[in-house]
Amino acid sequence: MIPELSEKTNALVVSYIGIRRAIGMSGFLLPIVLGPGGWLLFGIPFQDNISSYYHTPMRDVFVAGLCAIGTFLYCYRGYDWIENWTANLGSLSAFGIALFPLDANSDPLFQRSLVGYLHSFSGGVFFLTFAFYSLYHFPKSKGPDHRPEPRETQRNFVYRSSGLVILLSMAAMGAYLFLLPADWKRTLNRYNFLFWMEWIAVWAFASAWLTKGRTIIAEIAVDLLAIPQDLLAKRERSESTHQ
């Protein structure tokens, strides 16, 4: 009975890690494929924001990428009901972004249709959901039976940093949409300001999920972050030995 239970537990762990990696890789690849990929393959200029790719030949890639993230989140199950609902909310928001397109050639703040406003609302919920994951769920201890992960301090640093980057990116986008005068907006539009802020936020959440999924590149980054702590510990051991 015990070996059978162990095998089922290992299968569940592998499944969880696979979903985390899939979410992280989907987020990592989406802006690359849409932006540089669309420009190199189809000559599509960089858009004002990621959502505007819906109205380009990259529409199917945009919709498929968001639907993939939504599906992975729907299949993901957390440690408690709060995390389950967070995943479900993130899933709904991802599908909302994909299926309720932003109005073409429009300011995300001022849409011409209910569908466009649903898109903008879904986008805000999407980023807030991933910020919540990075700041609350991932670095959270799971009760008295919690077993520390290898390099847990560094992993928590990655998670919290990712969450803060998402929030800072959202704050920058909010300031752009709500506070800046029109002439400043036109200036920033020439440099695709919203597109790059969204890219940064998407990569921030991707880095958290790739770290949680123990991908190779994330493990290397975590080990690099641990070098100063390891050197300090080695120095302290050396000093204590010579005393």
Q: Which two structure tokens, joined as six digits, stand for 163?
A: 């969450």
Residue ranges of alpha helices (H) inside the chain are 2-32, 38-42, 59-75, 81-99, 114-132, 152-178, 182-189, 193-212, 216-242
pLDDT band at 2 (very low <50, low <70, confident <90, very high): very low
pLDDT of residue 231: 81
- In this predicted structure, the answer to whether residue 234 has a pLDDT above a threshold of 60 is yes
Measured between alpha carbons, how far is 168 from 49 in angstroms, rounded to an integer? 17
pLDDT band at 91 (very low <50, low <70, confident <90, very high): very high
Percent over 70 (pLDDT), the chain = 87
Residues ≥6 apart with Cβ < 8 Å to 77: 16, 83, 84, 87
- C-beta separation of 135 from 160 below 8 A: yes
Q: Which two structure tokens, joined as six digits, stand for 15?
A: 């499944």
- Interval 88-104 mean pLDDT: 96
- In this predicted structure, the answer to whether residue 8 has a pLDDT above a threshold of 80 is no
End-to-end CA distance of the chain: 53
| Sole residue written with tokens 């008295």 | 144
pLDDT band at 141 (very low <50, low <70, confident <90, very high): low
Q: Which two structure tokens, joined as six digits, stand for 164?
A: 């803060």
- In this predicted structure, the answer to whether residue 239 has a pLDDT above a threshold of 80 is no
- Interval 59-64 mean pLDDT: 96
What does the domain layout of the chain look like in residue ranges?
2-138+149-242
Percent over 90 (pLDDT), the chain = 65
Q: Model pTM?
A: 0.88
pLDDT digits (tens, 9 = 90+) for 12-44: 455 678 899 999 999 999 999 999 999 999 999
- In this predicted structure, the answer to whether residue 194 has a pLDDT above a threshold of 50 is yes
pLDDT band at 50 (very low <50, low <70, confident <90, very high): very high
